[in-house]
Structure 1
Amino acid sequence: MIVAAVYFVVAVGAAVMSGKNLDRHLQGPRLRAAWAEGLTAEARCVSLRTEEVQSPEGGPLTHTHPTLEFRTADGHTVSFEERQSRLTPALGDSVTVYYGAENPKDATTRAPSFGMRHARTLITGAGSFFALVSAVIIALVP
């Protein structure tokens, strides 16, 4: 029984840490801040930057990062490079951006989604559930 309890505590701790790390890796805090106030604007693609990287298999991959420019609700012009979206507009194209009034440079073209808003909670909850099930099995096995 003690082994199961220790296992449960360690596994829940690992689930919490995994949830935090995944959320940080996916830039969850930045995206949630951009979505929080519900502010949107139409941005125009003013330039494209191409980046060559290596795929996990060793082959070349090309990523294109657009620089977008938009006007905030209070009239300031903001320019930022979008790195998190799979969206690749052509030069001059308009796209919708989501931004927070406090830090409009952290804008994103990614639309709010349930998964990104709650990624940390979902991963932590799923890991904790499996930790509980495993701990009960460990406790019941003679």
Structure 2
Amino acid sequence: MVVAAVYFVVAVGAAVLSGRNLDRHLQGPRLRAIWAGGRTAEARCTAVRTEEAQDAEGGFVLHSHPTLEFRTGDGRTVSFEERQSRPTPAEGDFVTVHYSAANPQDATTRAPSFGIRHARTVITAAGCFFALVSAVVIAVVA
């Protein structure tokens, strides 16, 4: 029973850390702050920068980073390079960007999604559920 309790505590801690790390990797805090502002604008793609990278298997992958320009609600013109645009707009295309009034240069074309908004909670809950089931099995078998 003690082994099951120790396992449960360690596994829940691992689930919490995994959820937090995934959230940071997916840029959850940054994106949630942008989406919370609720501001959108039409942006024009002024350029597309392409870089070549190597994937885990040694192959080469091209990453495109569009530079987008838009006007905020108070009339400021903001230009920024999108970090993760899918699909990548071509030069001259218009796309919708989400931004916060406090930090408009940190805008994104990524629309609010359930996965990004709740990744931390879902991963943590799934890990805690697995920890509970495993601890019960360990307690019954031991």
TM above 0.5, one fold?
yes
Q: Please state if 1:115 is matched with 2:119.
A: no
Q: Percent identity?
A: 77
TM-score relative to the length of structure 1: 0.97
Unpaired stretches in structure 2, ≥5 consecutive residues = none
Q: Please state if 1:32 is matched with 2:32.
A: yes
Corresponding residue of 2:141? 141
Q: After TM superposition, list the pairs within 5 Å mapping 1:123-134 onto structure 2.
A: 123-134=123-134
Moved over 6 A (4+): none
Deviation digits for residues 1-22 of structure 1 (CA, Å, limit 9, x no counterpart): 1100100000000000000100
- Distance apart, 1:87 and its partner CA: 2.0
Q: Please state if 1:49 is matched with 2:73.
A: no
| Secondary structure at 2:95 match in 1 | strand
- Distance apart, 1:34 and its partner CA: 1.0
Cα distance in structure 2, aligned partners of 1:102 and 1:17: 30
Unpaired stretches in structure 1, ≥5 consecutive residues = none
Equivalent residue pairs, number? 142
Corresponding residue of 2:70? 70
Q: Please state if 1:92 is matched with 2:89.
A: no
Cα distance in structure 2, aligned partners of 1:85 and 1:135: 42
Cα distance in structure 1, aligned partners of 2:128 and 2:102: 35
Pairwise CA RMSD: 0.8
TM-score relative to the length of structure 2: 0.97
Deviation digits for residues 45-82 of structure 1 (CA, Å, limit 9, x no counterpart): 01111110001110111111001011111111111111
The one-letter code sitting in structure 1 at the alignment partner of 2:27 is: Q
